[in-house]
Amino acid sequence: MTDLNVREQASLQLPITDAAALTAEQALERLGSGPSGLSEDEAAARLAQLGPNAVRTHRANAWAVLGRQFGSPILILLIATAALSLFLGDATNSIVIGVILLVSVGLGFANEYRAELASEALHSRVTHRAAVQRGGTTREVDVTALVPGDVVHLSLGAIIPADLRLLTTNDLLCDESILTGESQPAAKDPAPVPAGAALGDLASCAFMGTVVQSGSCSGVVVATGGRAEFGRIALGLGERQPQTEFQLGLKRFSFLLLQVAIVLTSLIFIANVLLQRPLLESLLFSLAIAVGITPQLLPAVVSTSLATGTRQLARRKVLVKRLVCIEDLGDMDILVTDKTGTLTEGKISYTGALPATADVSGDGLLTLGLLATEADYTGAKVSAAGQNPLDAALWESPGAAAFEPARFERLDLIGFDHRRRRTTVLVREAGGPARLVTKGAPEDILALCGPTPPSVQARLEEQFDAKSRVVAVATRPAARLGHLAPADERDLTLAGFLVFLDRPKANARQSLDRLEALGISVKLATGDNAKVAERVCADLDVVSGGTLTGADVEGMSDADLAAAARTATIFARVSPEQKARIITLLRESGGAVGFMGDGVNDALALHKADIGISVDTATDVAKNAADVVLLDKDLGVLADGVMEGRRIFANTIKYVLMGTSSNFGNMFSAAVASVVLSFLPMLPGQILLNNLLYDSGQLAIPGDRVDREQLRAPSHWNIAFIRRFMLLFGPISSLFDFATFALMLFVFAAAPGEFRAGWFIESIATQTLIIFAIRTRRVPFLRSRPSAGLLAASLGVVALGVFLPLSPLAGVLGFDPLPVPFFLALLGMVVVYLVLVELAKQWFFARSPQQVPAVPPPVQRRHATHHIARRAFRFSSPVRVSRSGSHRVGVRRRRNHQGTQ
CA neighbor of 463 nearest in space, from 510, 439, 496, 430: 496
Burial of 684 (0-12, 13-18, 19+ CB in 10 A): buried
Helix, strand and coil percent figures for the chain, each rounded to 5: 55, 15, 30
- For the chain, report the end-to-end CA distance as a whole number of angstroms: 16
Contacts of 494 (CB under 8 A, 6+ apart): 356, 357, 445, 446, 449, 452, 456, 472, 473, 474
The neighbour count for residue 848, using CB atoms within 10 Å, is 5
C-beta separation of 759 from 681 below 8 A: yes
Q: What's the CA angle centered on 363, arms 362 and 365, to 5 degrees?
A: 65
CA neighbor of 157 nearest in space, from 629, 605, 612, 820: 605
Distance between CA atoms of residues 802 and 807, nearest Å: 9
C-beta separation of 41 from 882 below 8 A: no
Contacts of 790 (CB under 8 A, 6+ apart): 700, 701, 703, 704, 771, 775
Strand-pair partners of 214 = 173
Burial of 43 (0-12, 13-18, 19+ CB in 10 A): buried
Map 45-86 to HEC letters: HHHHHHCCCCCEECCCCHHHHHHHHCCCHHHHHHHHHHHHHH
Contacts of 264 (CB under 8 A, 6+ apart): 289, 290, 293, 667, 668, 671
Distance between CA atoms of residues 597 and 611, nearest Å: 11
- At residue 828, what is the residue type? G
Q: What is the largest CA-CA distance in the chain?
A: 115
Distance between CA atoms of residues 179 and 186, nearest Å: 12
Contacts of 34 (CB under 8 A, 6+ apart): 28
338 as an active site residue: the answer is: yes
Distance between CA atoms of residues 463 and 805, nearest Å: 81
Torsion of CA 57, 862, 143, 606, to 10 degrees: 150
Distance between CA atoms of residues 868 and 602, nearest Å: 20
- At residue 817, what is the residue type? P
How is residue 316 annotated by DSSP? T
CA neighbor of 610 nearest in space, from 306, 891, 336: 336
Distance between CA atoms of residues 713 and 754, nearest Å: 49
Contacts of 25 (CB under 8 A, 6+ apart): none
Sign of CA dihedral 391, 396, 401, 405: positive
Strand-pair partners of 64 = none
CA neighbor of 509 nearest in space, from 541, 533, 532, 538: 541
C-beta separation of 489 from 422 below 8 A: yes
Residue 602 backbone dihedrals phi, psi, to 5 degrees: -95, -10
Distance between CA atoms of residues 214 and 545, nearest Å: 30
User: Active site residue: 175, 338, 598, 634, which one?
Assistant: 338
**Helices and strands of the chain, counted as H and E runs:** 35, 23
C-beta separation of 585 from 559 below 8 A: no
Sign of CA dihedral 866, 871, 875, 877: positive
Residues catalogued as catalytic? 338
